Amino acid sequence: MKLKDIKALDAADPLRDKRDLFSIPEGVIYLDGNSLGVLPKATPDAMNDMLHRQWGQDLIRSWNSNDWINVPCRIGDKIGRLIGAAEGQVVAADSTSINVFKALSAASQLNSGRLVLLSETGNFPTDPYMMEGLATATGNRMIVELVEPSRIPDRFAPDVAVLLLTQIHYKSGEVWDMAEITHRAHEAGVLVIWDLSHSAGAIQVELDKCRVDFAVGCGYKFLNGGPGAPAYIYVAERHQSKIMPVLPGWMGHASPFSFEDSYTPGQGIKRFLCGTPGILGMCALEIGVDIFQSVDMGVIRRKSRQLGDLFISLVEENRMGFELASPRKADMRGSQVSIRHPGGYSIMQALIERGVIGDFRAPDIMRFGFTPLYTRYVDVWQAVSTLADIMNSNDWRDEKYAVQAEVT
């Protein structure tokens, strides 16, 4: 494909004006929104108001006057619209890891006669780590079992309490069929938790339609909530009243300001709150989430497929010696493409020095994330052109690029 054809794609892009909502540094091609989203232009002003007016002037009155107390549920409902969840089933709170633990413990209560916590090998580590933590908390009465992805459906059995899967794999970008896996799990009496960290804001998700039990996700990737942004948890309405949270913080109490000695769970999704919400982080997250309220996720998904297909085509056209580590079929791939090379770390550092920012996952995976709200087709063309120059010149072999940073 010629450059003029790629520019024509940008000119016809229905999302082209959304790029203006983000602060993208001059000279940077940012292909790492699957790890940390870009700063929305509206965030600094919102944070300034939060710091100087709401906190600085209104002080503690803001819990009422600025409705801080209801922020987690308000943002939760907005996220719910992106992931196919009716109101009252999502709350913004804590970190993804903490919410994984909440969901695992809740599912285990509902399936108390079963003792196996099931997931796939190669899942993002925090998920099995939290499974191990729950098993330890039960005196190892519960058992963690990780199996090859292809064997997941075959492992559904009467001893399995819950299945925990990341819908889009963090390394390969491969997408699980949520509807099919959830249905098959339920047929065997297995409850399902989906980690949506690489899904929300990137692809269409239909939690209610798929009869999902629980879901979790982060706010700092495609939702553009900023580093360490609050996460969220989804609990299907049909389950909420049956669960006694194992992390029963005061904000999840039915009447938190009664300061009672014993815990009475709050109504609905509120019982899955724990401690005092981080209002500063919530402020930034809500700005990122609000951008999606006027956007059709179907349009976002179509563009993400096209960006990924273009990247694969251009990389292979240049014959640089990379191995595709993501599904070739766009419907089976999230909003990222991963390629494999023994010198992947050094190559990525050389790219970053030239203003093309992706990231690396050991041992040899280079990830390129495509955020349709601000990634242009010409960005993909320029990124691959830079990559080809680095490979053809062998610049990446410079020893300085092999020096491992603490964060890769």
Q: What's the pLDDT tens digit per position in 59-68? A: 999 999 999 9
d(CA 383, CA 372): 15
Annotated catalytic residue, options 22, 30, 214, 220: 220
**Residue at 112: amino acid letter:** S
Residue pair 116/109 in contact by the 8 Å Cβ criterion: no
Segments in the chain below pLDDT 70:
none
Contact of 139 with 115, CB cutoff 8 Å = no
pLDDT reported for residue 1: 82
Whether the Cβ atoms of residue 248 and residue 68 lie closer than 8 Å to each other: no
Catalytic option among 32, 77, 195, 359: 195
**For residue 149, cis peptide bond before it (omega within 30 degrees of 0):** no
Report residue 160: phi and psi, to 5°: -90, 120
Catalytic residue among 18, 155, 221, 271: 221
215 bridge partner residues: 194, 234
- For this structure, is 195 an active site residue? yes
Q: What is d(CA 33, CA 382) in angstroms, rounded to the nearest whole number? A: 17
CB 219 within 8 A of CB 211: no
For the chain, the straight-line distance linking the first and the last C-alpha, in angstroms and rounded, comes to 32
Considering the domain 46-293, what is its CATH architecture?
3-Layer(aba) Sandwich (3.40)
pTM above 0.95, yes or no: yes
Q: CA 167 to CA 200: how far, in whole Å?
A: 10
pLDDT of residue 375: 98
Instruction: Give the strand pairing for 22-23 and 39-40.
Output: antiparallel
Q: Closest Cα partner for 269 from 309, 318, 232?
A: 232
CATH of 3-30+296-402, one of 3.40.50.2000, 3.30.70.1400, 3.90.1150.10, 3.40.50.620: 3.90.1150.10
The yes-or-no answer on residue 220 being catalytic is: yes
Query: Tokens 């993501």, residue?
Result: 326
Catalytic-residue membership of 127: no
Beta pairing class for 323-324 and 336-340: antiparallel
Report the greatest alpha carbon distance in the chain: 70
Give CA torsion, residues 373, 32, 368, 95, to 10 deg. -100
Is 305 tagged catalytic?
no
Tokens representing 287 are: 């700005």
Return the DSSP state at 292. G
Domain extents in the chain: 3-30+296-402, 46-293
- Confidence (pLDDT) at 230: 98
- Residue of 358, 241, 258, 273 whose CA lies nearest to 75: 273
Q: Which of 102, 270, 305, 367 is an active site residue?
A: 367
Catalytic residue among 10, 124, 184, 364: 124
Q: What is the CA radius of gyration of the chain?
A: 22
Q: Sheet harboring 232-235: ordered strands across?
A: 90-92, 232-235, 214-217, 191-195, 160-166, 116-120, 143-147
Residue 266 backbone dihedrals phi, psi, to 5 degrees: -70, 170
Q: What is the DSSP letter of 158?
A: T
Cα–Cα distance for residue pair 247/234, rounded to 1 Å: 16
- Tell me if the bond preceding 363 is cis, omega within 30° of 0: yes
Residue 78 designated active-site: no
Q: Decide: 116 and 141 in contact? Cβ < 8 Å.
A: no
